[in-house]
Amino acid sequence: MTPYVSRNNPYGEDKVTEACSLFGMMDRSGRRFSGEDIIRAIANMHDRGNGLGGGFAAYGIYPGYADALAFHVMFEEKRHQYEVEEFLKSHFKLIMDEEIPTRTTRGVTRPPVLWRYFLEVEPENLGGLAEEDYVVEKVMAINSTIEGAFVFSSGKNMGVFKGVGYPEDIGRFFRLEEYEGYIWTAHGRFPTNTPGWWGGAHPFNILDWTVVHNGEISSYGTNRRFLEMYGYHCTMQTDTEVMAYAVDLLIRKHGLPVEMAAKVMAAPLWSEIDRMPEKERETHTILRQVYSSLLMNGPFTVVIAHQGEMIGLTDRIRLRPLTVGVKGPMLYLSSEESAIRLICRDLEKAWSPMGGEPIIGRLGESLPAEAALKEELVASKRGGA
């Protein structure tokens, strides 16, 4: 009898086309919770990765330094740290610094030097720049000009923790069960076209924006060249980096709503735009013309987060999976529904969104799908009465 695997893989191909695992969870009431559950959830999708990258982003974890920038920096060697610290002291006010707490973990080997710095921007240093633009400029300077040093997290009251290994090992290595945040995102990596190294693991970050990604950005070259015109430099050797800079440019610098930024990155097909009502057709045509170089071609699912929001988005024809789950104020985004149900067995609703449809969780707000769910429950109760 032909083995099951052969029947479903007749050509003997071993390329994984839907790998990488994503998970995000947010308490929209603002309640903070530990990283324990997200480690369990991403570990449930262990077989989607190959041990060459794992990482997490967490929001609300530094309440004692909530107004300070938290720079997480990795150094290939200790000698690279001196140059970065001199740079930071000349451009920021240093409040506190320390080694990022870690523990010896099987599966995590040869880590770089990992340090965090809590910083303030002094107004006299801005030279007419907005504080956020100043910070982006300095992060880009460190990452592109100082050898052996990478700023991999640069927001306020949040942090990125990532490295080479399976995500559950990275989570234990960074002792994430000891932190509490109201948004957590996680990634298990299966790199196909780019190297597996500590800086190239997900999430990717600038300011408080973070992105985890499953898929491939085949438009990377075009996207990168467009972003370089605005001062962003891609130094992490992976296509996903453009996503983080694109959302910063579109939403923070250019002021686009999240929903409109999603239509730039996962734009509707021209045939779909042609069928839209006139006003909507005009808006989408302008977006396609102005931001044609930020259209993200290729299969992708991303979970994007920043202070107060968590966003799930797939490419316009949904070539990578995304499942949404809700229970009370909790919003879950995952590559697989099983990971959600592992940590929340009594979901109120779970579904797969349409391609290019952003799922946006905001502090204090419900999703449109939840309003529909409540209407269904009310209707069913009336029917029963």
* Catalytic residue numbers, as ranges: 20
Residue tagged 């509707």 (tokens): 268
130 Cβ neighbours under 8 A, 6+ residues apart: none
DSSP category for residue 207: T
Greatest alpha-carbon pair distance for the chain in Å reads: 76
d(CA 91, CA 88): 5
d(CA 50, CA 38): 19
3 Cβ neighbours under 8 A, 6+ residues apart: none
Q: Give yes or no for a contact between 215 and 63, defined as CB atoms under 8 angstroms apart.
A: no
Q: Give yes or no for a contact between 134 and 126, defined as CB atoms under 8 angstroms apart.
A: yes
Q: Give yes or no for a contact between 50 and 38, defined as CB atoms under 8 angstroms apart.
A: no
Given CA atoms 83, 86, 92, 93 in this order, what sign does their dihedral have? positive
C-alpha to C-alpha distances, 211 to 163, 228, 361, 383, nearest whole angstrom: 15, 19, 15, 44
Q: How many CA atoms lie within 13 Å of 20's alpha carbon, on the beta-carbon side?
A: 29
